[in-house]
Amino acid sequence: MTRSTGLEVTGTDSMGMAAATHALPAQLEAALAAAVDVVGPAGSDPITNVVAMGMGGSGVAGDITSALAAPHMRVPVTVVKGYECPAFVGPQTLAIAVSFSGNTEETLEAATAAHDAGASIVAVTSGGQLAELARHWGAPLYEVDSSIPMPRAAVGAISVAPLVALERAGLLSGIAGWVGATVAQLRSRQDSTDTEVDSLDEFVSAIGNGEMLPVFYGGGALGVVAAGRAKAQINENVKIPAYASAMPELCHNELAGWDQAGRLIDGSPLAVIALRHDFEHPQIRRRYDFTRRILDGARVAVPYAELRAAGEGAMAQLFDLIYQVDVLSLRIAAAAQRDPGPVPLLTELKTYLAGHPARHP
């Protein structure tokens, strides 16, 4: 039995995912301390756009960077999750490449193209080919603790460096304060004996037993990132489908689909978990209220619950939600009697792709 967040996470955990989740505050602090000695980025051209590149558990760093930094910056942030480098990338681009392993083929290809286009590169990785390229290019290299068991468990380690790089480039300020407030909130969450996730015990059981699948709703930039993180954590830790949707967009389409939700014989096959924070637009808050009415009034009522963020500032609230959904995924994995660490299917995919190298026209 592993203690995590003031919650008990039981079951097989061969890679120590619960311990890594519990270490998130320390991970953030270590990442900030490690970034102190990294020099750069340095370029002769003014930065007019930022591109954050990454996939999967590493790619979430780009989502986090965009959600937290874009509201404060005078230049746009584009998140790239794929092989292609945008055509606008050039000497006035700051390209931040994030790959925990350093060997993610999509990120390596996109980062190489960005470098060839004249962009200033920043690398965030624990090693591998990306670290080698960064050294060869003379690019700033933010090294991530390689002892963290999986990329998705390194969310704190990979998310601080891009923010620090933006601060070094003169595009942001106050990152140490952001991280400090985030660490304080996470430790407060861990010390609590009565947590938000405790209220979802029925959801944990039903999802773990295969009776329902979760749909995560997030509003605004912070909520959308948290919902995407929740979906991915359920996919990889529990090995089941999960879904994520964004407010207010879902009110223009998906909401109509709930009016006839479920089958009378089986009840609702889906459950909605809303991820709430204090930075929501007032109209998004009203949309949640309306959506709840629709779910309750459907032909078969759709189970609904909320996890709410706390903390001072956007980074603290985003990571508070990330932490809670990570714990939720571990509890569901335990209920489903699944080891949250290894993902054999993804290893099989990488082996398959390695035998079929990409060929471009």
Which range (16-25, 99-108, 149-158, 196-205) has the least confidence? 196-205
| Residues 41 and 169 sit within 8 Å (Cβ to Cβ) | yes
Q: Can you tell me the distance from the alpha carbon of 161 to that of 246, in angstroms, rounded to the nearest whole number?
A: 27
**DSSP percent split of the chain into helix, strand, coil, nearest 5:** 50, 15, 35
Tokens, residue 197 = 């996730």
Q: For residue 238, how far is the Cα from the chain centroid? A: 16
Residues 177-198, buried b or exposed e (16+ Cβ, 10 A)?
ebbbbbbebbeebbeeeebbbe
Phi and psi angles of residue 63, each rounded to the nearest 5 degrees, phi first: -60, -45
The mean pLDDT value of the chain amounts to 92
How far, CA to CA in Å, does 117 sit from each of 44, 53, 99, 287? Answer: 15, 15, 20, 43
Residues ≥6 apart with Cβ < 8 Å to 244: 215, 216, 217, 218, 224, 227, 228, 230, 231
List domains and CATH numbers for the chain.
Answer: 17-173 (3.40.50.10490), 193-335 (3.40.50.10490)
Long-range contacts of residues 136-139, Cβ cutoff 8 Å, at least 24 apart? 139/40, 139/41, 139/115
Residue burial 148-162, b: 16+ Cβ < 10 Å; e: rest: bbbbbbbbbbbbbbb
Which of the residue ranges 3-17, 30-44, 85-99, 309-323 would you say has the lowest mean pLDDT? 3-17
Query: Rounded to whole angstroms, what are the CA distances from 40 to 123, 163, 165?
Result: 11, 13, 7
pLDDT digits (tens, 9 = 90+) for 312-329: 999 999 999 999 999 999
C-alpha span between 269 and 184 (Å, rounded): 38
pLDDT, tens digit, 9 for 90 and up, residues 171-211: 999 999 999 999 999 999 999 866 789 889 999 999 999 99
Q: Return the residue matching tokens 């619960």.
A: 18
**Ranges assigned E (strand) in 36-162:** 49-53, 77-80, 93-99, 120-125, 141-143
Q: What confidence tier does 127 reach under pLDDT thresholds 50, 70, 90?
A: very high
Which phi and psi angles does 197 have, rounded to 5°? -65, -25
pLDDT of residue 263: 57
Residue-wise pLDDT tens digits, 52-103: 999 999 999 999 999 999 999 999 999 999 999 999 999 999 999 999 999 9
